[in-house]
A = this chain, B = another copy of it.
Amino acid sequence: MPTYTAPTRDTRFVVNEVLDLPSYGNLPGFESATPDMIDTVINEAGKFCAEVLAPLNQIGDQEGCTRHADGSVTTPTGFKQAYEQYRESGWGTLAHPEAHGGQGMPHVLGFVVEEFMATSNQAFAMYPGLTNGAISAIVAAGSDKQKETYVPKMVSGEWLGTMNLTEPHCGTDLGLIRTKAEPQADGSYAITGTKIFISSGEHDLTDNIIHLVLAKTPGAPDSSKGISLFIVPKVLVNEDGSLGEKNTLACGSIEHKMGIHGNSTCVMNYDGATGYMVGEENRGLAAMFIMMNAARLGVGIQGLGQAEVSYQNAVNYALDRRQGRALTGPAEPEAKADPIFVHPDVRRMLMDGKAFSEGMRALALWGALQVDLTHKAQTEEERERADMLISLMTPVIKGYGTDKGYAIATDMQQVYGGHGYIQEWGMDQFVRDARIAMIYEGTNGVQAMDLCGRKLARDGGKAIQAFFELVGDEVAAVKGTDLEDIGTALEKALGQQQQATMWFMQNAMQNPNQLGAGAHHYMTMMGIVTIGLMWLKMARVAAEALKGEPEDKAFYEAKLVTARYYADRFLPDCGALRRKIEAGSENLMTLGEEAFATAA
Closest 9 A-B residue pairs measured CB to CB? A344-B516, A568-B583, A258-B428, A327-B512, A9-B599, A173-B323, A345-B445, A572-B579, A558-B595
Q: How far is the CB of A481 from chain B (nearest CB, A)?
A: 18
Say yes or no: A517 contacts B258, CB within 8 Å.
no
Contact with B along A421-436 (1 / 0, CB 8 A): 1111000100110011
Q: Which of B424, B519, B587, B598 contacts A312 (CB 8 A)?
A: B598
Question: How far apart sit A343 and B344, CA to CA, in the bound complex (Å)?
Answer: 41
Task: Judge whether A391 is part of the interface by a CB distance below 8 angstroms.
Answer: no
Task: Judge whether A348 is part of the interface by a CB distance below 8 angstroms.
Answer: yes
Say yes or no: A417 contacts B439, CB within 8 Å.
yes
Task: Judge whether A83 is part of the interface by a CB distance below 8 angstroms.
Answer: no
Give the contacts of A487-514 with B (CB-CB under 8 A): 511-513
Give the contacts of A533-587 with B (CB-CB under 8 A): 552, 554-555, 558, 561-562, 564-565, 568-569, 572-573, 575-576, 579-580, 583, 585, 587
Q: How far is the CB of A186 from chain B (nearest CB, A)?
A: 33
Task: Judge whether A515 is part of the interface by a CB distance below 8 angstroms.
Answer: yes
User: Which of chain B's residues have a CB closer than 8 A to the CB of A216?
Assistant: none
- Interface-facing stretch out of A84-92, A164-172, A230-238: A164-172
Say yes or no: A519 contacts B554, CB within 8 Å.
no
Q: Which of B354, B435, B600 contacts A596 (CB 8 A)?
A: B354
Interface size on A, residues (CB 8 A): 109
Give the contacts of A377-395 with B (CB-CB under 8 A): none
Q: How far is the CB of A396 from chain B (nearest CB, A)?
A: 15
Task: Judge whether A74 is part of the interface by a CB distance below 8 angstroms.
Answer: no
Q: How far is the CB of A13 from chain B (nearest CB, A)?
A: 10
Q: How far is the CB of A153 from chain B (nearest CB, A)?
A: 29
Question: How far apart sit A445 and B347, CA to CA, in the bound complex (Å)?
Answer: 11
Q: Which of B171, B414, B440, B589 contacts A347 (CB 8 A)?
A: B589
Say yes or no: B421 contacts A7, CB within 8 Å.
no
Contact with B along A343-362 (1 / 0, CB 8 A): 11111111100100000000
**26 cross-chain CB contacts under 8 A:** A6-B598, A10-B598, A46-B600, A173-B322, A173-B324, A255-B422, A256-B424, A257-B421, A258-B421, A258-B431, A315-B597, A327-B453, A327-B513, A344-B515, A345-B519, A347-B517, A351-B591, A406-B410, A421-B436, A431-B435, A554-B595, A561-B590, A561-B591, A568-B580, A575-B576, A575-B579
